[in-house]
Structure 1
Amino acid sequence: MTERAPLSRKISAIAESATLKVDAKAKALKAEGRPVISYAAGEPDFATPPFIVDAAAEALKDPANFRYTAGAGLPALREAIAEKTLRDSGLEVSPSQVIVTNGGKQSVYQAFQAVVNPGDEVLLPAPYWTTYPEAIQLADGKPVEVFAGSEQDYKVTVEQLEAARTERTTALVFVSPSNPTGSVYTEEETRAIGEWALAHGIWVISDEIYQNLTYDGARAVSIVEAVPELAGQTILVNGVAKTYAMTGWRVGWMVGPADAIRIATNLQSHLTSNVNNVAQRAAIAALTGPQDEVGRMRDAFDRRRRLIIDELSKIPGISAPTPQGAFYAYPDVTGLLGREWAGRRVETSLELADLILDEAEVAVVPGEAFGPSGFLRLSYALADDQLLEGVRRLQQLFGG
């Protein structure tokens, strides 16, 4: 009997999402009755605001939403996204420059598919969201990590980017506020990077999913607002997931030059076609309705941000920079490595995360998921009492 042909080498090489893996393990342990507290998932713990849910319920009464619609998205939603892009990113675009996707993750995938050719290099500032390198490689590109540590507030410089640039460099990933670090580039830093990319004809994939979650008076200035001339070589990625507590609704979008959006729309026509119409109607309500709930959720994240940084900073061996955006703390834990804890020698942040889960029943994501070892990511998008209890377990384990 002839042996079966092999599976796809490209797809087989994809790494499992580390954040989802840790979160799944935490949920499995909870299901077994263990009192696990998880900081793993990048997901607001709030319910989607009621007026958004009501819009979805109303949409269920209209049979038109039970049919195929335009693959690039409902016209009313594309118009609302164009208005939001002007309001928050300072870029005026036509709705024809917008494509609605199944969550921001699909936009990330399609953005790289649209601008990367085989062998192209994509500069990837690290720490980075775990999906970026996989999406780059799925486009037959090569991710080139450019690391910035806690001493730089996890923000890369133009000098670092220039040192990593080669004749094969075709794109740069720019994320502010950052997942996993919560760092926010200043307007001056953003402008410098944008002008550098413009000067070298480099595409910018700018993930703005956390742009409305900033603190301490910080503002996430869009790279196309800082350098308007860059709009012709920039794709903006965004969605309703984080700002409106709508992670499960799966509505994201990409905004960019007409030619890039056209080929991405062609790809999506074969990949998924239109996004769920009821979810699109809910997204229209989110973007055009009252923003009071957004402010309340942001205030809660701000309170939790200050709490988790204050408490983590009490642990000897941990350095926890204060994030200015998103809902993540990204402490440097190199001071805990190379030591023995609870009878176990710990050399990497991966081993440290395993130890923390086993001994303190707390789930965190190790730095290896986002770049170099020596760090942990903790989402503070969980209830205040759980957040405090989890950090106190860490203090007890490490002597804080």
Structure 2
Amino acid sequence: MPTITNKTNSTTYKAILIHPQLPTGRQQGDVRFGSQKIDIQAGDFYYHIPFADLEIEAGGASGQFIFFKSRKEKEVSIYTKDKSILKDDFLISDPRFREHIKDTKFVLNSLYRGVALVLGICILMSTCFYLFKDNIVRKGAENVPISWEEQIGEELFESIYEEYTFIENDSLIAVLGEELQPLINQVEAEGFNIELYLVEDASINAFALPGGKVVINSGLIKNASSWDEVAGVMAHEISHVSLRHHIRGAIDKIGFFSIVYLFFGDGSAIMATLANTMFEIQTSAYSRTLEKEADIKGVEYLQQSRINPEGMIQFFEMLDEKNEMTSMDSLMSFISTHPSTPDRIIHLKEQIIDNKENNYISFQSNYNDFKEGVLLTTN
């Protein structure tokens, strides 16, 4: 076929010609438009399609190629990814191709519309997640069985067992359990099993493991002045258990798409990740939001148990006073894992200010005798 000699338009576009007479069946060339045709020069091979026979459409991978085809020669086509070709003056000036160009552009842009739609949905879901994060995380935690959390608590307990010297005095443990039983009953009624442990540690601290094991340092017993104060601390710690703060902290940390699996997918698929995360966060502080929740819930438990909630405030006031007087290590361990003590005191006082109840229970044993027993055991 002859090589094109008269160019009616100086604008050229790179394209591929598919033709059965080409050695490999296809070859790259230069496309030009004239007043009544489109032609392509691919090496020494020339081909043209009159406008009267021309069809334009999008196709190929993801519909991102522009095809120029002849109605008469179905085995021949010209295609390109150069979208500027649809703006060629000869092409857009011919009214026969307006609908062709419009439809082709619509298909070409469909991929971008799809990407924009998916991106928009992701942004919307992420925005909703952060706006309603606490509620979503709480609901996700409810989908995790308590028994599974108890199993993780057992594994955590085994991992820390060698780190502490446990006070294995049945009499002291029995007294502790009897005095705190009204409080424990509130939580166990919700399906949790609370177990109390005493350890030899001068730090003013106590912590709860997932599922219900609560470890109390001898330093806390030494510095508390009444059963009301100990009960206040215990109410706070067991609230972390009943409010599922361990699993909520883990779910919050692993992120949005893992939460989706908890709601709609196979929850067991992310249990291993949750377990590893719970091991990591056990040694870190709870968020201020979770700590405030535990304080509020703790006061509710105390009131339901008819234990004076002022004991919780008195304990924190003691911490605040010691913090002003000294920076001893035993105090720092508690303060480093809990919110600002003055702020907590203010919030707690606001919570119980309207509580006129004064028919609080009387504890069965003398706290000083219990404290002395614990201190004798640790010496």
TM range (shorter): under 0.3
TM-score of the aligned structures, taking structure 1 as reference length:
0.21
Give 1 or 2: higher helix fraction.
2
Larger Rg: 2
TM-score of the aligned structures, taking structure 2 as reference length:
0.22
| Higher RCO (CA 8 Å, separation ≥ 6 residues) | 1
